[in-house]
Structure 1
Amino acid sequence: MELYLDTANVAEVERLARIFPIAGVTTNPSIVAASKESIWDVLPRLQNAIGEEGILFAQTMSRDAQGMVEEAKRLSNAVPGLVVKIPVTSEGLAAIKMLKKEGITTLGTAVYSASQGLLAALAGAKYIAPYVNRIDAQGGDGIRTVQELQTLLELHAPNSMVLAASFKTPRQALDCLLAGCEAITLPLDVAQQMLNTPAVESAIEKFEQDWNNAFGHINL
């Protein structure tokens, strides 16, 4: 199982990388734009924050296949080993096929249906990113979509994997993992929610109180 952070906030990545067993960081154009930093500046800093073994994802901006391929090559040259995110449109599928031949690893993004995700996998994308909460917001069932996509990949594209995205709650992320999803990417607020449970602090305080009452200090 692979856990990613969905952010371009270098300071938060550095902080959470010390705590969470993260496999890397995912970004998208909106996330990079919110950081107010040039993508060519922030990507190397993010890679440094997650270390050489961490996997970094960045997305192309072009709408046509050839433009996507050219941007993907620029991104790959800027950060060796980077996974290029390609929106799963008709042009995106063509780009994924071309990049597969070039040896550039891709993720099919903006996936709203299991069939769309399967096409991206068959085109050669290693990762497929269904938008769980956004599917729900459009009246669909994000978790069911992940379940269907996971089954389709296991049957027909075993070299590809689901990397579920777009979460508003930890419950959504856990349900994806229970559905067999092999990777998830969490926004910072959802990652923090997974860690922060008020009852934990209360339990620790009770342990300290009982220990102090018995021994007059809270050290071993």
Structure 2
Amino acid sequence: MKILLDTSDVQAIKRIAATFPVWGVTTNPAIVATGRVQLFDLLPAIRDALGGKGTLFAQVISSSVEGMITDAQKLYERVDNLVVKVPVTPKGLQVIKELSAQNIPTLATAVYGSAQGLLGILAGAKYVSPYVSRIDAQGGNGPEVVSELQSLLSMHAPESELIAASFKSPRQALECMLIGCKGITLSPEVFDLFLADPAVAIAVTQFEEKWKGAFSTDCL
């Protein structure tokens, strides 16, 4: 199971990576723009926050085929262990196909349907990311799309990997894990909610109080 963070917040990445083995970090143009740090300054900072490890994902910016290919080449040449994110559009499929021929790894992104995601993989992408909560917001069923896409990949492209994205709650992410999804990317806010149940803190406090009451010490 691969857990990735979806953010440009370097301090949040550093905080979470200090306590949990984060597999990688995903970004997109909107996330990078929110942080207002240039991408080629941001990516090394993210790498440092991960302790020099992990896989980074960054998206092309250009809207033309030639421009997206150039963006991808620049990203891949300048950042170690990077996967280029390409939207699954007619132009994007052409870009994924060409980058695959150049041995540049890609993630098929902006996926709202299982057939669309499969096309991205068949064009040459190694990874694919369906947008779970965005699909739900449009009246669809995000986990169902993940399930369908997972089945399609198992039958037609077993070497590829599905990394579900766009979660608003831990429950959404758990539903995809239960389906068998091997990778998810979470915002730091949703990651923190996995540990936010107040009952946990209460239970830990009770353990400490009982121990101190019996042994007058807070350690072994």
**TM-score, normalized by length of structure 1?**
0.98
Matches within 5 A, 1:55-134: 55-134=55-134
User: Which ranges of structure 1 fall in alignment gaps of 5 or more residues?
Assistant: none
Moved more, 144-153 or 189-198: 189-198
* Distance in structure 1 (CA, Å) of the matches to 2:94 and 2:78: 23
* Distance in structure 1 (CA, Å) of the matches to 2:106 and 2:129: 11
**Matching residue of 1:198:** 198
**Matching residue of 1:46:** 46
User: Which ranges of structure 2 fall in alignment gaps of 5 or more residues?
Assistant: none
Give how far 1:80 is off: 2.2
Moved more, 91-100 or 64-73: 64-73
* Distance in structure 2 (CA, Å) of the matches to 1:218 and 1:70: 59
* Distance in structure 1 (CA, Å) of the matches to 2:206 and 2:52: 41
Give how far 1:217 is off: 2.4
- Indicate the percent of aligned positions where both proteins have the same amino acid: 51
* Distance in structure 2 (CA, Å) of the matches to 1:79 and 1:30: 20
**Matching residue of 2:150:** 150
Large movers: runs of 4+ above 4 Å: none
CA RMSD in angstroms, aligned pairs only:
0.9
Does the alignment pair 1:207 with 2:187? no
* Distance in structure 2 (CA, Å) of the matches to 1:159 and 1:97: 16
Helix, strand or coil at the partner of 1:162: strand
**Matching residue of 1:36:** 36
Moved more, 65-74 or 110-119: 65-74
Aligned residues: 220
* Distance in structure 1 (CA, Å) of the matches to 2:194 and 2:200: 12
